[in-house]
Amino acid sequence: MEEELSGRMDAQDALNIPKAPIAAAVPAGGKKEKAHRIVRGGKIESVPAGQPIISARGLELKNLIGNPYSGIDLDVHQGEVVAIRGRNGSGKSALLLTLAGRMRFTKGSLDVLGYKLPLHINAVQRRTGMAHFDGLNDVDDSQRIDRLIAAEFDLYNRHPSKDEVIAYLDEWDLGDIARMRVADITEERLVMLYVALAWVGHPHIIVVDDIESQLTKTQSTQIMQKLIDLAHNRNVTVLVGVLERDLAAMADSALYMEKKGR
């Protein structure tokens, strides 16, 4: 059996409130680089600080309906927030899915967490949390928030008490909606719920798409800041798809996607 990822916490640690709350931001420029651990050849080993955990060269996708993206060269490091910016139809969602091991590319090379894709696509999927992708990780509108979170913890063989579920939701400023149904919460809260669900398994990478749909600029900015806080406080890499230049400028780095003709 493949060795478990070292970054995964045990049941007790996973439910503890962090000493530094998610809301406490750490300036990107003030981060201290440190070695991280990734998987190579089925074994976990230390990797020197500064080495990318995602490396793409000449990445391209062609399919029956067009060419969503091409010529993508990208390096992403542990603990960074990287914005993939582009208009609707620019291929940013397709690229995010590719980097997360959810969509196969047709040309180029891609290494994620020491795994070469698409050969080890399943391993990358297990170590990547997905948030707010239509049709990929939709939740039942009739389900109550606290029960949804508890069920997600159950998938990782962790069985939190009601108080622990509320404490976890409080980390994301969602504690007050714990007993509400998914259908009854605002779009802003829904985005953060998806992020909270993605973090339950403590993945090395979280990928989030569409943080602006049906939201005001202020709401989208607040969500972006929370993603930055998560990355810098927890040393998790965050990839986020955005439309607006101001949101992309908040990230540690950004890649602009040009809209291609069909």
- 1 occurs within a structural domain: no
**DSSP state, residue 19:** S
Which among 219, 260, 262 is positioned nearest to 72, based on CA atoms? 260
- 5 occurs within a structural domain: no
Amino acid at 209: D
CA distance 239 to 98: 12
CA distance 198 to 206: 7
Structure tokens that stand for 230 in this block: 């998560």
- Cβ atoms < 10 Å from Cβ of 96: 22
- 4 occurs within a structural domain: no
Which among 81, 197, 82, 213 is positioned nearest to 136, based on CA atoms? 197
Domain of residue 172, CATH code: 3.40.50.300
Q: Residue length, the chain?
A: 262
What does the pLDDT read at residue 189? Answer: 95
Is the pTM value of this prediction over 0.75?
A: yes
Q: Which residues of 249-260 are buried (b: 16+ CB within 10 A; e: fewer)?
A: ebbbebbebeee
CA distance 156 to 167: 18
Contact status, residue 60 vs residue 106, Cβ threshold 8 Å? yes
- 81 occurs within a structural domain: yes
- Give the strand pairing for 43-47 and 36-40: antiparallel
Give the pLDDT of the chain (262 residues) as one tens digit per residue.
333 333 333 333 444 333 333 332 233 333 434 433 333 333 333 344 568 999 999 999 998 878 899 999 999 999 999 999 998 888 999 999 999 999 999 999 999 999 999 999 999 999 999 998 877 778 899 999 999 999 999 999 999 999 999 999 999 999 999 999 999 999 999 999 999 999 999 999 999 998 998 899 999 999 999 999 999 999 999 999 999 999 999 999 999 987 665 4
- 188 occurs within a structural domain: yes
Strands (E), 31-150: 36-40, 43-47, 54-63, 66-76, 81-86, 107-112, 115-117, 128-131
- 148 occurs within a structural domain: yes
What does the pLDDT read at residue 49? Answer: 55
Say how far residue 52 (Cα) sits from the centre of its chain: 16
Structure tokens that stand for 254 in this block: 């950004």
Helix (H) or strand (E) holding 232: helix 217-234
What does the pLDDT read at residue 99? Answer: 97
Q: Which residues of 188-224 are buried (b: 16+ CB within 10 A; e: fewer)?
A: bbbbbbbbbbbbbbbbbbbbbbbbbeebeeebbbbbb
- Quote the domain boundaries for residue 91: 11-257
Structural domains in the chain (count): 1
- 171 occurs within a structural domain: yes
- 43 occurs within a structural domain: yes
| Alpha-carbon distances, residue 215 vs 16, 22, 45 (angstroms) | 31, 21, 42
**DSSP state, residue 176:** G
What does the pLDDT read at residue 180? Answer: 97
